[in-house]
């Protein structure tokens, strides 16, 4: 797992114990806090990913693909906010070294949400092989704790990644990719992005079959709540 020191730093800043919530059942590098941390979150704002300037559009595409995949887990309401949204210009969203409690309160007031999902696309290469790296972190804005984080690079030259792509296509993708089938994801950034988003979402628990969204006081629209 690359850049693990950054995740550890975020965990220390947030007061969350790393080993307490980490599960070693996924092929990708991630952190997940205990279930009660997620149960307290009802509305999340996903700020559009930062991306590599040399590949315009990749960050926006991955933001959309990830948001769809995460919503299938039915853990919370997820709303995407674009980077150029006026609300994003009123507060600091960098936070690579962590946020102060005041910054977290400002984000909660500005976006009217319980938690914020931030991240970036890095190491993206569409050819001669498809490769993408993601850095994601979900912060509880009420207590400043890190609830979920992903820090991983996917590379089509990795044989294990290739095997997982085959399983993903066989299980999740509909027809229409003939004659290439699963090999289409090896050359198509969008198809590869769907595979990546699927693996990211699978690091979260799946409550889609357990219960509907939580029935309690909840944020409804930006700048307005019940």
Per-residue model confidence as pLDDT tens digits over 78-133: 999 998 899 888 888 876 668 889 999 999 999 999 999 999 999 898 877 889 99
Residue 13 has pLDDT above 90, yes or no: no
Per-residue DSSP letter, 50: B
Kind and range of the H or E run holding 160: helix 159-172
Structure tokens at 129: 């092989």
pLDDT score for 178: 55
Residue 30 has pLDDT above 90, yes or no: yes
CATH of 4-156+200-209, one of 3.40.1000, 3.10.450, 3.40.50, 3.30.70: 3.40.50
**pLDDT tier at 16 (50, 70, 90 boundaries)?**
very low
pTM value is 0.79
Torsion, CA 18, CA 101, CA 70, CA 195, rounded to 10: -60
Residue 76 has pLDDT above 50, yes or no: yes
**E strands of 65-204, at which residues?**
77-81, 115-125, 131-140, 146-155
């Amino acid at each position: 797992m690359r850049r693990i020191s950054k995740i550890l730093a975020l965990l220390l800043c947030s007061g969350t114990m790393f080993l307490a919530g980490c599960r070693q059942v996924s092929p990708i590098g991630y952190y997940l806090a205990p279930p009660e941390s997620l149960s307290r979150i009802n509305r999340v704002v996903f700020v559009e990913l930062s991306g590599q300037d040399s590949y315009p559009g990749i960050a926006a595409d991955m933001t959309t693909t990830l948001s769809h995949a995460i919503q299938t887990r039915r853990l919370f309401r997820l709303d995407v906010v674009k980077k150029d949204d006026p609300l994003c210009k009123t507060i600091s969203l960098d936070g690579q070294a962590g946020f102060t409690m005041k910054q977290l309160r400002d984000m909660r007031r500005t976006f009217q949400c319980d938690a914020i999902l931030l991240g970036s696309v890095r190491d993206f290469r569409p050819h001669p092989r498809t490769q993408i790296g993601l850095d994601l972190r979900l912060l509880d804005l009420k207590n400043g704790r890190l609830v979920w984080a992903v820090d991983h690079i996917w590379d089509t030259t990795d044989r294990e990644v290739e095997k997982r792509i085959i399983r993903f296509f066989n299980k999740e993708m509909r027809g229409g990719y003939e004659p290439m089938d699963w090999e289409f994801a090896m050359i198509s950034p969008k198809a590869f992005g769907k595979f990546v988003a699927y693996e990211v979402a699978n690091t979260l628990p799946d409550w889609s079959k357990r219960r509907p969204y939580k029935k309690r006081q909840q944020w409804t629209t930006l700048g307005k709540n019940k």
